[in-house]
Amino acid sequence: MQPKTSTLERWQFSAAVLLPVVLALVITAAAVLGFIFWSTANIDERALERQSAMFEQVIEARRIRLEHELASVAIRDDTVVNTRLMFNVNWVHRNLGRWMHEFFGHDRVVVLDALAQPLYMMEDGVSVEPQAYRRISSPVQQLVNRVRAAVPASIVPGGPPRPVSVSDFAVVEGVPAIVSVMTIVSDTGAVVQPAGTEPLIAAVQFLNDRTASQFNNEYMFEDGHFGLARSVGPERATHPILNAAGRFIAFFDWERDRPGLMMLRQTGPALAAAFAVAAILVFLLLRQLRRSSAALEAGRRHAEHQAAHDRLTGLPNRMSFDVHLARVLTDRQDTGLQLSLLMLDLDRFKQVNDTLGHQAGDELICAVGQRIRAVVGPGVMIARLGGDEFAILAVSRDGCQDVATMATAIIDAIGRSFDLNHFKAHVGVSIGIVNASGGNAEPRELVRKADIALYEAKAGGRNRAVVYEEHMNELLQLQHTIEGELREALLRDDQLSVAFQPLIDQASRKVIGAEALARWHHPKYGQISPARFIPVAENTGLIEALGEFVLRRACELGAGAPGRTIAVNISPTQLRNPRFSVQVFDILHQTGMRPVDLELEITESILLDDEHVSAQNLRTFRAAGIHIALDDFGTGYSSLSYLKRYPVDRIKIDRSFVSQLSEGHVSVAITQAIVTLAHAMEIEVTAEGVETEAQAVILGRLGCNTLQGFLFSGGVAGERITAIFTDKANSPERRRRTKAA
Ligand code: C2E
Ligand code: CA
Ligand code: CA
């Protein structure tokens, strides 16, 4: 079950926390990366645009510079003189060709006459045959034509001829180049030439690797090259060079400046590291979160377990029992399984708790839980409902048979003595069983019925299992009505009465007194046993009135029979009343009975009570000569040591004990021990419930002082006991046995 839950939890955690966080992380990372790449590309694009614009300006400046350089030699009087008036090749070479090559780096210089015939040509600083002009004439001629065409427009009437120049990009000798052509004119106007006849000077500057490396150095192009074809590849940028007519002449291409990419390369590792750190942090955070949520969950489950389980035994408590019962009942309708509910209540647990202490009581409860578990096996629900109450919920196919066997096994198991720390304890268990057969049983109804069966088990003598039957319900209903009926009966004088059971002297078998027993004859229900109505009276406080009624009747009878002992049963409730002794003395006084003839029967539980008032009352009674008898000895804790604290005059060995007496039985030895001890403490011993002569003989041999039981007589009416008392023979009642009233 455990791993299943944790897998489910892990899954829930993943769905609720992990997934959204990871998703958010991935989306954030993607957004950041996307933005970085976008801005990188954007920056690179801007850089490219800027470099292209710059190249455009630079190349244009180069073209204009060539014109200006040409103008510096073409607009001069001596140039006109040396080219037109008397052509001096040496001068031309020195002052035009070589000079322009050396100062401006021009690659070709040509001087043409009015008819555009070459007069001079320089190639790479060297004067060559003018005919070499052929090699460059085709691109140069076009510019020459344009110059000639522009001359007329430059003429200012009456003024000196103005220089005309044209420059353009062209492919010269298969190499891209800037070509400039200019008219050679006088700068002072001193040398006059007819318009259109001016000699021309043309200069060619190749856009070759040399030019490119100048560009690279001056304008910081990376690995720039001029070429006739557009270069390809993402790393290189290209800018076209067009001539005035808009034709592609050449391309300049260079290594693209990519500041964005560079930035990305530089910051990339740091960024990746940051992402990794963030991811690790998130992972750690999530793990911590999962751990703490797991811890929380464990805490919650622990608290839930605590709330549903009994701390002492670890068994489910009443709350979870109720829940489980309701669920099982609902499920049963589908499965058709048999359900049995067992209510368990320990017998004599209170004595163990009171005499051995709460710790021993706790130990005992735990041990009981374990023994029950050992009997019923694992699959069955055992709950501790509180105190010494347990419940078992058994589900089976064939129901009743199993459950009866189970209950017997539990009684046997609990009946074995418990070895507690330093102590041995003996308890019993009473079990009420209800089988939920057919129909939709209601949980509360089921519990109520099991409780009724449990009540019956206790009333039937404890340490037994009773299966619920419908008639018990009626009896219980009767219990409920008893209170009201008893209240009513106490107000009338025709239902309640007192019977007297003779007390027989063992040695002489003569009647020496009687025990008063309450009797209730109900007009509708007939004779109701004191075993049934006395507990109700005790629980409802009616015992005060009932007890007073019995006491008064007993004393009235006792007053008329001095010398006979009249025993009256006193309930613990009465004895705990501080006014009880006053009441007893009042009645004795009113009836005229002698205190020494009265014997009050109390039960062991009073001795365990540790009640100051009870002890005080007992002392007062004994001081006044009233006898105290300890009733039902042998059913409870049965410790004679208590008798030192609360001295009594008599103990009455319980009838359940007496009924076991037979020759050779262990009970004989125990009874012998009790009698010997009691006598040593100057306490008389009465045996009650004597039903057979054999019992009477054994009890006589053991030294019991007084006998009581159906062997001699049951309870008889007051008149009858008076008659017995006054019977001169006062003979034993054996031969004239009467039935119990
Ligand atoms: P108890 O004090 O032990 O009274 C003796 C019970 O045993 C009586 O039952 C009596 O009828 C019955 N008994 C007597 N001899 C024999 C016998 O040989 N065999 C058997 N099986 N039973 C015998 P009863 O009258 O039903 O009274 C039951 C219990 O009710 C009493 O037990 C006593 O504890 C209580 N009780 C009766 N009357 C009063 C009363 O006036 N006040 C108080 N507080 N309790 C009373
Ligand atoms: Ca009694
Ligand atoms: Ca008794």
pLDDT of residue 538: 87
| CB 313, CB 366: distance < 8 Å | yes
- % the chain with pLDDT above 90: 53
For the domain 318-468, what is the CATH code?
A: 3.30.70.270
pLDDT in tens, 224-267: 999 988 877 778 889 999 999 999 999 999 988 888 888 888 88
Pocket of ligand 1 (CB under 6 A): 501, 517-518, 529-531, 534, 547, 550, 569-571, 601, 631-632, 655, 688-691, 709-710, 714-715, 740
Distance CA 555, CA 431 (A): 41
Q: DSSP for 554-609?
A: HHHHHHTSTTSEEEEE--HHHHT-TTHHHHHHHHHHHHT--GGGEEEEEEHHHHHH
For residues 571 and 543, the answer to whether their CB atoms sit within 8 Å is yes
Q: How far apart are CA 243 and CA 245, in angstroms?
A: 5
Taking the centre of ligand 2 as the mean of its atom positions, its distance from the CA of residue 643, in whole angstroms, is: 18
pLDDT recorded at residue 731: 45
Mean pLDDT within 543-551: 95
- Average pLDDT score over the chain: 88
Name the 3-class secondary structure at 218: helix
pLDDT at 12 (0 to 100): 76
In degrees, rounded to 5, the angle at the alpha carbon of residue 215 between the alpha carbons of residues 211 and 218 is: 130
With 60 as the cut, is the pLDDT of residue 4 above it? no
Ordered by start, the domain boundaries in the chain are 2-57+259-304, 75-152+159-206, 318-468, 493-740
Of all protein residues, whose CA lies closest to atom 33 belonging to ligand 1? 569
- Which CATH number applies to 75-152+159-206? 3.30.450.20
User: Does residue 140 register a pLDDT over 90?
Assistant: yes
CA–CA gap between residue 198 and residue 114 (Å, rounded): 6
Distance from the alpha carbon of residue 631 to the mean position of ligand 2, in angstroms: 6
- For residue 5, give the 3-state DSSP assignment: helix
CA of 499 to the centre of ligand 2 (A): 12
Sheet holding 428-436, edge to edge: 381-386, 389-396, 338-347, 428-436, 465-467
What's the N-to-C CA distance of the chain in angstroms? Answer: 64
| 495 pLDDT more than 80 | yes
CATH fold group of domain 493-740 = TIM Barrel (3.20.20)
* pLDDT per residue as tens digits for the range 321-337: 999 998 888 877 666 67
Cα separation, 486 vs 477, in Å, equals 14
* Secondary structure of 407-423 as H, E, C letters: HHHHHHHHHCCEEECCE
**What number is the average pLDDT over the span 403-428?**
88
Tokens of 400: 């009743």
